[in-house]
Amino acid sequence: MIVNNKDIFSLKPSEGLQQRLHIDFPLLLAFMAIFMISLTAIYSASNGSIDAVVNQGIKILISISAMAVIVQFSPLSYARAGPWLYFLCLVMLVLVLVIGETRNGATRWLNIGIISFQPSELMKIAMPLMIARYISRGALPPDVSSVALSITIVLIPSYLIMQEPDLGTSILIAFSGLVVIFLSGLKKRYLALAFTLFFAYLPFMWSSIHPFQKKRVLSFLNPESDPLGSGYHLIQSKIAIGSGGLFGKGWLNSTQGQLDFLPERTTDFIFAILAEEFGFLGVSLLIGIYLFIIGRGIMIAINAQDLFSRLLASSISLTFFVYVFVNIAMTTGLLPVVGVPLPLISSGGTSMVTIMIGLGMLMSVQTHRRLVEK
């Protein structure tokens, strides 16, 4: 089925509740399942604190509301807003480095009177929009100059965020942009070149990253070398996951979590609590739900009716996967501790809202499709 872009506007929206509400029910169901898991895990990880659960519940409601609003807009309007949002974020990222708030040695927050927030979170949305918008304008595969410009668009905010410093977010944002360039059909030799450049850059990155980041990488390579220091998180996390076994210790029976051995267990290490309490089977189910969301996103991308929507939907889906992968790989010791939350489950409001906005845009791609009249 080939549809001219021109024709789209003459098509009628498909009927049905999902289309009218612009909500994709299978995705919504998966989100609900994930949120139930989140509340269950937060209750246990916070040693049975109702406050923590209510707090998380409020954040979930805000996130769902944000998604519900976002899905009402068509992908076309995102495409239009993309560049504006991107440049706004860029300005704010510069402002962060100049007048930003510093917490725990990292300057990531911008105080705009009423609230303070992280512009880098907003960039997570702006980046795929901007790149998808830019690439989809030209013919595919993109030529050298537009690839070069695309890469520049990706690297500027990534660099700024790395200066905050926030290595994890920086890499994830870069990924969400680069994945669009990759999907647009970048020639294989460019890809090879990019890889070569990346590995050539690694030693420079090593010398420029902060000492605490170096320590994390080193302790990842050999956590037992400093069991009470930088390797502590990882060791305790592995003990939690491993001691869960096949079936887990049961809800609220996580000794590693209940007895405070595992740090940051409501945020970055919440996966370890789930693994300890619900075992291999439990986390396999969770991974299954995540894969359903990602699979559904890729389906949406494939079925999307224009290039922008396709690129946007696939970028969001693949970035979502990377979030999930990086967090689980980090808690199981496959990757260094980079401080990435488990999407939709870890407590922490901003990241949940931005992820749900992203997933809302994904849903919008599906629910704003127009059917060709027979």
Partner 1 sequence: MEFKSGAAQETEKTIFLSRIVFSVSTIALLVTLILLRLVQLQIYDSDKYKLRSMNNTIRTHSLPATRGLIYDRNNQVLAENQPVFQLEMIPEQIEDVEQTLNRLIDLEIIEARKLDRIKDNIRKNYQFKSIVLNNRLTERQMAVFANNRTGFKGVDIKARLSRHYPKKEIVAHALGYVGTISSMDYSVFDPSIYTGKEQIGKTSIERDYERLLHGKPGNEEVLVNVKGRVMESLGKKPFAPGSNLILTLDTKLQEIAYEAMKDKKGAVVGIDPSNGEILILVSTPSYDPNLLSRGMTALEYRTFETNEDKPLFNRAIAGQYPPGSVIKPMLGLAGLHLGFIDPTKYEPCDGAFLLPDYSRPFKDWRMHGPVNLKEAIQASCDVYFYKTAIKMGIDNMSDFLSKFNLGSPTEIDIGQEKVGIVPNPSWKKNNFKSKENQSWYKGETVITGIGQGYMLTTPLQLAFATSMIANKGKSYKPHLVKGITDSGLNKTEYIEPVMVNYLDDIDLNHWEIIHMGMKAVINQKGGTAYGMFDNNYPLAGKTGSSQIYSTEKTKGDNVPEEFQDHGLFIGFAPPDNPKIALAIIVENGISGRTAAAPVAKKILDVFLEE
Which C-beta is closer to partner 1: that of 123 or that of 132? 132
At residue 351, the 3 state secondary structure works out as helix
Residues 237, 333: contact at Cβ < 8 Å? yes
Residues 17-56 that bind partner 1 (CB under 8 A): none
Write the DSSP symbol of residue 253: -
Q: Is residue 189 involved in binding partner 1 (CB under 8 A)? A: no
Which C-beta is closer to partner 1: that of 148 or that of 334? 334
Q: Is residue 69 involved in binding partner 1 (CB under 8 A)? A: no
Choose one: 16-24, 160-168, 205-213, 323-331; the region binding partner 1 (CB under 8 A). Answer: 323-331
What residues have CB less than 8 Å from 185, skipping those under 6 apart?
140, 141, 142
Question: Residues 133, 137, 142, CA angle at the centre, nearest 5°?
Answer: 100
Q: Is residue 328 involved in binding partner 1 (CB under 8 A)? A: yes
Which C-beta is closer to partner 1: that of 35 or that of 271? 271
H-helix or E-strand spanning residue 364: helix 349-367
Q: Is residue 83 involved in binding partner 1 (CB under 8 A)? A: no
Which C-beta is closer to partner 1: that of 112 or that of 191? 191
Write the DSSP symbol of residue 248: -
Residues 93, 160: contact at Cβ < 8 Å? yes
Q: Is residue 255 involved in binding partner 1 (CB under 8 A)? A: yes
Q: CA nearest 308: which of 146, 129, 150?
A: 129
171, 218, 285, 329: which one contacts partner 1 (CB under 8 A)? 329
Q: Tell me the one-letter amino acid at 234.
A: L
Write the DSSP symbol of residue 186: -
What residues have CB less than 8 Å from 291, skipping those under 6 apart?
none
What residues have CB less than 8 Å from 281, skipping those under 6 apart?
246, 247, 248
At residue 267, the 3 state secondary structure works out as coil
48, 185, 229, 250: which one contacts partner 1 (CB under 8 A)? 185
Choose one: 26-34, 108-116, 272-280, 355-363; the region binding partner 1 (CB under 8 A). Answer: 272-280
123, 153, 173, 301: which one contacts partner 1 (CB under 8 A)? 301
Q: Is residue 184 involved in binding partner 1 (CB under 8 A)? A: yes
Q: Is residue 314 involved in binding partner 1 (CB under 8 A)? A: yes
118, 170, 256, 351: which one contacts partner 1 (CB under 8 A)? 256
Q: Tell me how far apart the terminal alpha carbons of the chain are, to the nearest angstrom.
A: 12
Q: How many CA atoms lie within 13 A of 169 on its CB side?
A: 25
Which C-beta is closer to partner 1: that of 15 or that of 224? 224
Q: Which two tokens stand for residue 257?
A: 């979590």
Residues 130-159 that bind partner 1 (CB under 8 A): 137, 139-141
Residues 56, 39: contact at Cβ < 8 Å? yes
113, 259, 373, 374: which one contacts partner 1 (CB under 8 A)? 259
Q: Is residue 194 involved in binding partner 1 (CB under 8 A)? A: no
Which C-beta is closer to partner 1: that of 161 or that of 179? 179
Q: Is residue 182 involved in binding partner 1 (CB under 8 A)? A: yes
Residue ranges that bind partner 1, judged by CB under 8 A = 2, 4-6, 76, 79, 137, 139-141, 179, 182-185, 236, 238-246, 255-256, 259-261, 275, 279-280, 283-284, 287, 291, 294, 298, 301-302, 306-307, 310-311, 314, 318, 321, 325, 328-329, 332-334
